[in-house]
Structure formats: structure tokens, C-alpha cells
Amino acid sequence: MTGDHMSVDSDDFRKAMAQFATGVTVVTTRDSSRHLLGLTANAFCSVSLTPPLVLVCVGAHSETHPGFVQSGYFGVSVLAENQEVISRSFAQSGLEKFEGAPLVEGRHGLPLLEGALAHMECRVVAAHPAGDHTIYLGEVLRMEVFAGRPLLYYRSSYHRLEAEEDAQP
Ligand SMILES: Cc1cc2nc3c(=O)[nH]c(=O)nc-3n(C[C@H](O)[C@H](O)[C@H](O)COP(=O)(O)O)c2cc1C
């Protein structure tokens, strides 16, 4: 009964999804009192080219939700291979994770991580509840691309590209 979700064990689901290699992003935003919020996210993908849309899926327990809702904006920093420490820090709740983080401010007032491979500044255009996550759909208002090599996540651990891969933007 593969079509019946009741038969899908969550450990099996995690294991199957862990076969899907991804990059790593840190998604940042601000709440209405301008307090910085953010989380490490690999449930990030492009949705549309015209207009440019991306989505990020944020878990129900994330403390970052008020930022998406209250500011209506979010920033995406695509992490470089030397930013594993940042990824680990932003993957914890309840920490002053912005303290000591190398930030630059985007044109829309969003905090973005310096040293990332790409920055995107997005306006929230939809929020869809989806199981134990919320899908935030964002229109990309501005972006910037930098040279470097990506941080990868595969089978629950961090990886880097082999040396011969091209690192140009
Ligand atoms: C590599 C990696 C990818 C992650 N991807 C996501 C994701 O796409 N969505 C999500 O909600 N949490 C994701 N997490 C977990 C969050 O980063 C973690 O729950 C974090 O504590 C949330 O912080 P917050 O409560 O301050 O928002 C990921 C963690 C790691 C290590």
C-alpha cells in the first residue's frame, strides 16, 4: 500500500529525503519590533522565472514565523562551503544567533550573511499551511551573486564539491 501515507514511517521518509542532496541557505527576516530572526533551511527552491518566485518551507516549531508574517519580507543567503558553523548556529532555536554573525543589510532592510554565494531579497506573496510546515512563497525583488563554492547537505551531513568542480559565479 505505497499510496497510503499511514504506511509511511517517518524514519523511512527522512532516509529517502536524505538521498536528495541540496545546498544550504540561511533565511532571515525581522519581526515588527525589528528583532532579527532566521533559520537554516534546505527546503528552498525556485518556483517561477517570470515573475521570479522562490519558496521556503518552515516548520511549525520555528521561531522565525513572526518575521515572515509581520514584516512580509525575507532574505535568503546561499551558504558557501566555509559557512558550516553559521549553518549549525542558525539550525538552533532560542539562541542569539545573529551575535557575531557577519551581516550585511540588503536594500530592503533585510539582514544577509556576508560571504554567501548568493543573496536574495524577497517579498512574501503567499503563505500556505502544509502539514507540519508553512510554505512561504516569495517574489525575488533583488539578488546578488558572488564567487565561491557551495556548502552541500546530503545524508544528514555537510559536504563540499570535489576540487575539480568550477567555482565561478
Ligand atoms: C541542513 C539543515 C537544513 C534545514 N532545513 C530546514 C528547512 O528547510 N525548514 C525548517 O523549518 N527547518 C530546517 N532546518 C531546521 C531549522 O534550521 C531549525 O529548526 C532551527 O532551529 C529553526 O530556528 P528558529 O526556531 O529560530 O526559526 C534545517 C536544519 C539543517 C541543519
Instruction: Answer whether 69 contacts ligand 1 (Cβ < 6 A).
Output: no
CA of 106 to the centre of ligand 1 (A): 22
Closest CA to 144 of 90, 98, 75: 75
**Global model pTM greater than 0.85:** yes
Query: Looking at residue 108, what is its pLDDT?
Result: 83
**Which residues of the chain, if any, have pLDDT below 70?**
1-5, 164-169
DSSP β-ladder status, 53-59 and 103-105: unpaired
